[in-house]
Amino acid sequence: MIRFEDVSFHYPHTQASIEGLSFHIAKGEFVALIGANGAGKSTISRLCNGLLRPSAGRVLLDGEDTSQTPTSRLARKVGFLFQNPDRQICENTVREEIAFSMKAQGWDEQAIAGRVEEILAAFDLAGDWFPFERSRGERQRIALAGALACEPQLLILDEPTTGLDYRECIRIMDYVTALNRDKGVTVLMVSHDMELVQDYARRVLVLEGGKLLGDGDVKRVMKDEALLRSARVLPAQIPALALRLGEGFEDVYTIAEMAGAIQKRRAEASR
Amino acid sequence: MNLLSVMPGDSFLHRLNPVTKLAAAFLYGIGCILCDSIAMEVVFILLMLLISASAGLLPRALALTRRLLVLGLFMFVIQLLFVRTGAPLLSLGGVTLVTTGGLRSALLLSLRVVATMLPLMLFFAVTQMNDLCNALVKRLHLPYRYAFIITTAFRFVPLFSSEFAEIQDAQRARGVDFETKNLVRKVKLVAPLCVPLLVSSLKKVNSSAISAELRGFEMRGRESGYKEYPFGKNDALALALLVLMVALCAALL
Ligand SMILES: Nc1ncnc2c1ncn2[C@@H]1O[C@H](COP(=O)(O)OP(=O)(O)OP(=O)(O)O)[C@@H](O)[C@H]1O
Ligand SMILES: [Mg+2]
């Protein structure tokens, strides 16, 4: 789906912020991008849809060089949720806001109308809300709904759940997961919430100072304390605890698994 | 990148009092407006380039000049076509297109625009807005809140432009194609972006104001700054020279 080939990028008047980065994300994957503040996560996501162009190397989207294609064309394939929803929202009602990208991409009226209602229902939004006076979390949800509306094949989410309450967070992530599972939508998600990453992503890219430190299965990365420490990321609590507890807790990642393992220990001890 | 950002340095120009710099930029501009000779305008532009070279600002000054020349060219063409004094210079099928008076006034005006704007824009390269604000308060006894408004307005310009670029990026990511040659279409595409820009700007201004208030903005007076902004010999020299220049330009009028 998307391939980085030895990509370097630096903002004008700064040192290289991305240096010799290579990775490949296949169709249908659910990948999390983690790293400390300023590690280059947002920069990488912007490289994916051509908002930034690499200064060296190539970014290929379905084999198509992103530096040769305008972002507005790539937008047909790539849905993008910005870190700050207020950048994205520009219409007076939620309904128009959700229709916006479909209109920009030339869908016909009928299809737009149907799709908008579908999305409104799925995200529990009222079509006639004035987006700018909703709460931060609601605006986030509106922005995500807008990004998902035109059925992208690659979904890039820059911190999709910051500022959302737990229930909201779960609802959004479940919707994204369903898209990923049922429609084969590829997801690249930036997040600082390791619990979220562990629960939803299957693969993790670990970033530090614009370089790729690690790339692998989410379970392996979560247990790799040295890797996470060098990326200045705090691991999720349960796997970290499991690691501390050692023997008998190797396969423990969730609260349920932890409870199960402890029960088993207890049973063995009382025998 | 940004043509109005500060270029730190320690030159004669940099070390002048911020108030002097501001006054000097304006005086230079006034001189150029008063001046009525094409040759003199060229001299003023070259002189300004020399002055900026002395402060290590030549690349910036040249970049600015280039931009201003584009603006100048625009005014040149308009003047050329609309000023009808003097003898005909170029006719096409019996219709006089260009006259000598038109050519002269077009050249003068466009060069004057460049010569006048250049010092004002270079002013930003050698002055920290903070310094200007403090100096206005300390030296000119401007109430702090007014000095703050002026300098903040300048500070917010690059902020807005980067904010606007971000918003435009967000719309591009949603499939809006801004790369159209059609001017009407372009305006139609860009106009809706004013909504998020306005909303986020107003929000930002509002929260900045509250945050300033919470940090004791009201208590700030003339004595609050620890840095002094004395006028020195150099300031007197610079101002004297510029007043002389303006006087000369006025006398030659
Ligand atoms: N527009 C810009 N101009 C110059 N430098 C920038 C710009 N945007 C980001 N940077 C720099 O590039 C580096 C990477 O920034 P990036 O936004 O990709 O970080 P991030 O991993 O998304 O951080 P966060 O977790 O805070 O969102 C940072 O050091 C930042 O200062
Ligand atoms: Mg970021």
Say how far apart CA B144 and CA A236 lie, in whole Å: 50
Distance (Å) from CA A198 to ligand 1 centroid? 24
pLDDT at B1: 47
Name the DSSP class of B169.
H
Chain A: give the shortest CA distance to residue B196, in Å. 5
Element (H, E) at A57: strand A56-61
Whole-number Cα distances in Å, B107 to A260, B76, B82, B101, B115:
87, 6, 13, 10, 12
Do residue A12 and residue B1 have CB atoms under 8 angstroms apart?
A: yes
pLDDT at A95: 93
Q: At what angle do helices A136-148 and A94-104 cross, to 10 degrees?
A: 30
Do residue B173 and residue A92 have CB atoms under 8 angstroms apart?
A: no
Domain-embedded: residue A170: yes
Name the DSSP class of B5.
S
Domain-embedded: residue A86: no
- What 3-state DSSP class applies to B96? strand
Interface probe, candidates A11, A13, A80, A86, chain B, greatest B C-beta count within 10 A: A86
Domain-embedded: residue A123: no
A205 lines ligand 1 (CB under 6 A): no
A35 lines ligand 1 (CB under 6 A): yes
Residue keyed to tokens 């060069």:
B111
Residue keyed to tokens 């294609």:
A69
Contacts of A150 in chain B (CB under 8 A): 175
| Helix residue spans in A185-236 (DSSP H) | 194-200, 218-223, 225-230
A82 lines ligand 1 (CB under 6 A): no
| Helix residue spans in A81-212 (DSSP H) | 85-88, 94-104, 109-122, 136-148, 166-182, 194-200
The amino acid sitting at B86 is G
pLDDT at A16: 65
| A53 contacts chain B (CB < 8 A) | no
Of A55, A58, A77, the C-alpha closest to A6 is A58
Domain-embedded: residue A96: no
- What residues contact residue A4 under an 8 Å CB cut-off, 6+ apart? A21, A22, A23, A24, A44, A47, A57, A58, A59
Domain-embedded: residue A236: yes
Indicate if the alpha-carbon torsion angle A19, A24, A27, A33 is positive or negative: negative
pLDDT in tens, A79-98: 999 888 888 888 889 999 99
Residue-averaged pLDDT of chain A? 90
Domain-embedded: residue A5: no
For ligand 1, atom 10, name the residue with the nearest CA: A11
| Higher per-residue confidence, A16 vs A123 | A123
Mean pLDDT by 10 residues, chain B (253 residues): 79 91 94 91 94 91 92 90 81 80 90 93 88 87 85 78 87 84 81 83 85 84 80 92 92 83
Do residue A132 and residue B179 have CB atoms under 8 angstroms apart?
A: no
Q: How sure is the predictor about A200, in pLDDT bands with cuts at 50, 70 and 90? A: very high
Say how far apart CA B111 and CA A21 lie, in whole Å: 49
Chain A: give the shortest CA distance to residue B197, in Å. 8
Element (H, E) at B45: helix B38-54
pLDDT in tens, A142-159: 999 999 998 899 999 999
pLDDT in tens, A65-78: 998 888 888 988 99
Q: ipTM value of the model? A: 0.81
Domain-embedded: residue A80: no
Radius of gyration in angstroms for the set of CA atoms belonging to chain B, rounded to a whole number = 22
Whole-number Cα distances in Å, B240 to A137, B34, B43, B77, B245:
60, 18, 19, 37, 9
- B219 with B8: CB under 8 angstroms? no
Domain-embedded: residue A144: no
* pLDDT higher than threshold 90 for residue A60: yes
**Which of A7, A11, A157 to mutate to test ligand 1, by most ligand atoms within 8 A of the CB atom?**
A11
pLDDT in tens, A17-45: 888 899 999 999 999 999 999 899 999 99
pLDDT in tens, A208-254: 999 999 999 999 999 898 999 999 998 889 999 998 888 888 888 88
A162 lines ligand 1 (CB under 6 A): no
CATH number at residue A245: 3.40.50.300
**B210 CA to centre of own chain:** 30
Nearest ligand (C-alpha, residue A192)? 1
Say how far apart CA B117 and CA B64 lie, in whole Å: 9
Do residue B173 and residue A82 have CB atoms under 8 angstroms apart?
A: yes
For residue A263, the enclosing domain spans 29-53+152-269
Say how far apart CA B34 and CA A269 lie, in whole Å: 98
Atom of ligand 1 nearest to the CA of A83: 27
Beta-sheet pairing, A186-190 with A30-35: parallel
**B47 CA to centre of own chain:** 18
Contacts of A89 in chain B (CB under 8 A): 196
Reported in sequence order, the residue ranges of B82-132 that DSSP labels E, i.e. its strands, are 88-92, 95-99
Distance (Å) from CA A38 to ligand 1 centroid? 5
Radius of gyration in angstroms for the set of CA atoms belonging to chain A, rounded to a whole number = 20
Say how far apart CA B209 and CA B207 lie, in whole Å: 5
- What pTM did the predictor assign? 0.76
Residue keyed to tokens 């208030």:
B213
Residue keyed to tokens 């998020």:
B196
- What 3-state DSSP class applies to A19? strand
Interface probe, candidates B1, B174, B181, chain A, greatest A C-beta count within 10 A: B174
Say how far apart CA A26 and CA A164 lie, in whole Å: 29
State how many domains chain A has.
1
